[in-house]
Every structure is written in C-alpha cells, then in structure tokens.
Chains A and B, each alone.
Chain A
Amino acid sequence: MKSLEELKAIREKMKRQMDVRESDENTIRVLVGMATCGIAAGARPVLSAFLDEVDRRGLTNVSVSQTGCIGVCRLEPVAEVFVPGEEKVTYVHLTPDKVPAIVEQHLVNHNVVTDYTIGAAE
C-alpha cells in the first residue's frame, strides 16, 4: 500500500537530486496541449507517458508541463519540445507508444524524431 511515509522518503531523495540539478537555462521543456481538443484526442495518456518515461530514466534536466490549445486541433495530441539553443520542435498525432522514442532520441540524444513532427504530417 502507498503511504505518506513513502512520500517522505521520496522527498529526501529528491532534495539530494536537487543539489546536482542543472540550472534552469539548461532545462529541456516539454509542453503537452491539454485543452478540450487535446484531452478528447488522447493527450492525457500521452502526458502520462512523458512523465513516466522521464521519471523512469531519471532525467533531472527535463521539465514536463501542460498548456492550453496550441492551435492545431486537427493534429492533437500535440507536444512542443524546447531544447535550449535549438529550434522548437512540434510533435503531432502523438500516442503513448511514440513517447519513449521521443524521449530517448530527442531529449537524451538531441536527434529530432522527424517522422512524428508537424512537418511530416502536413
């Protein structure tokens, strides 16, 4: 059973991690569109997959957050990836099974997964 005691242990572990975290300007940001259009198209499991994968890999230089409608409802679920010093990349028609490849290839190894980008879809 999950307990609040377990949460205390997580807190202690995370505090230790924070001491070695990179500064904010080096943080890679992932924004998932979570407006009505995104939610209806399946953005919730996509966001969950990003959070799970970042947690599983222990990526302390990645922040995953939510945003409203990105403006291309027909291409939802949509996520934008901002790597410092690089151009923004928009991934479209996402499903949870596409997320591990984006995390591994783009967030970790800095190779855009071209097949899933808005450029490939349009």
Chain B
Amino acid sequence: MKELSLHLLDVAKNSVTAGARHVDISLEEDPQGWLTVSIRDDGRGMAPEFLARVTDPFTTTRTTRKVGLGLPLYRLTAEQTGGSLDIRSQVGRGTTVTARFQRRHLDCPPLGDLPGTVAMLIQGSPDIEFTYRHTTPNGAVELSTAELRDILGEDVSLAEPEIFAWIQDYLTEQEEQAAVDIDPAAMIEGEIT
C-alpha cells in the first residue's frame, strides 16, 4: 500500500463486509503534523476474543485462505511513523478503527487520492450512508451521501458512473483548498516503534 488512502479504502471495505448501514470517515490533521484517521461503522462488530487477534496477519474472516493483511499492514504503517492503531468493537453495535500518523515522519506514506477513494466507496455501496470529513489547519472537506440522495432522489443510484465522476471532482476541488503541504525540511527521522 503506497498511499494512506489505499489503507482507508481497504479498512472501510471491512465495514461494508460487516453489513454496516452507516459508515463515518473522519480525518483530522493538526498543526503539529499529526493525522488521526477514524472509520466508524454500525456493522456486526467483533467478539472480544476475535478483536484481540484481529491485527495478527494469520487472522481472517475469510474461509478461502488463512491470512488477512489489511489491518496488520495498517497498524505497521501507523507505528512506523510513531503513531498507533486502536480498534473498538462491540458485537451488534459496530466497530471504530482509529489510526494516528505523524505526517512529517519520513516513513509516512502520502495521503494519496482521497477523493477517488471516497467516491469509490460510495460507488461500490450506494445503499450505505457515508459521511466524510477531512479537517486540516487550512480548512475542512465534508460530504454526506444522505445529502446527495436528497438531491438525486430514489431513482438515480450513487453507483452511476456520472455520479462517481461528480463526487470525485467535487471532493478534489475541496481537498485542494484544504491541503497541507509537508515541508521537506521539517521531516522527522525515527526508529520503528
């Protein structure tokens, strides 16, 4: 995974698989370079014993193979920047995955294509209600599929290619305004924690 947005896509897809009806995605960047990414869903949740080993690469819900690399790689990526991964879950209530990254750390991947990622999540699961919020010291980007659905009505699906293109372009414009440039001179080197 070369971008944080690819991890985001991968982890949020777990919420879809878990039968969530609502998925809230939040990214918060502070002036010190810390990025907190939170994905909260109301899916089926995990039992404590499964939760305890969910970042073990040899733990998966799949029956076709015995490895699941999404969350282990996500945790590794966060920890490589001096950050962390926290997962809270309750059976029948849902799951919240929160990761912290130090964006100034040399090992922190770029954010990547956030608009494409969010547009793709919505396109792939048009019946799920998504909210997306990305706040930075320069501004905020927000999108709610409930608001889009109010405009589009029941007849026009959020999976339509033209709607996908609009969401992607809309978010790209917003993200460009809120973007934070990382000063190469301020990059931090550090050991893997």
Contacts and interface: CB of A to CB of B under 8 A. Distances in A.
Main secondary structure of the interface of A (DSSP, over half): helix
A47 B160 contact: no
Contact of A14 (B124, B147, B162, B165): B162
A51 B151 contact: no
Given A34-B124, A36-B70, A44 B116 contact: yes
Contacts of B69: 36
A11 B151 contact: yes
Contacts of B173: 1-2
**What range describes how many residues of B lie at the interface?**
35 or more
Given A51-B165, A52-B165, A64-B161, A71 B64 contact: yes
Interface string B40-72: 000000000000000000000010100011100
Main secondary structure of the interface of B (DSSP, over half): helix
B187 interface: no
A7 B151 contact: yes
**What range describes how many residues of A lie at the interface?**
20 to 34
Contact of A2 (B17, B151, B166): B166
B127 to A, nearest CB: 12
A66 B124 contact: yes
Given A15-B156, A34-B124, A4 B169 contact: no
Residue in B69, B70, B117, B161 with the greatest tally of chain A CB atoms within 10 Å: B161
A65 B159 contact: yes
Given A14-B156, A51-B165, A65-B124, A44 B148 contact: no
Contact of B62 (A6, A14, A15, A69): A69
A39 B151 contact: no
Interface string B127-156: 000000000000000000001100111011
Contacts of A6: 166
Interface string A1-30: 110101110110111001000000000000
B6 interface: yes
Contacts of A52: 161, 165
Contact of A18 (B116, B155, B159): B155
* The 3 residue pairs across chains A and B that have the minimum distance between CB atoms: A55-B161, A66-B124, A2-B170
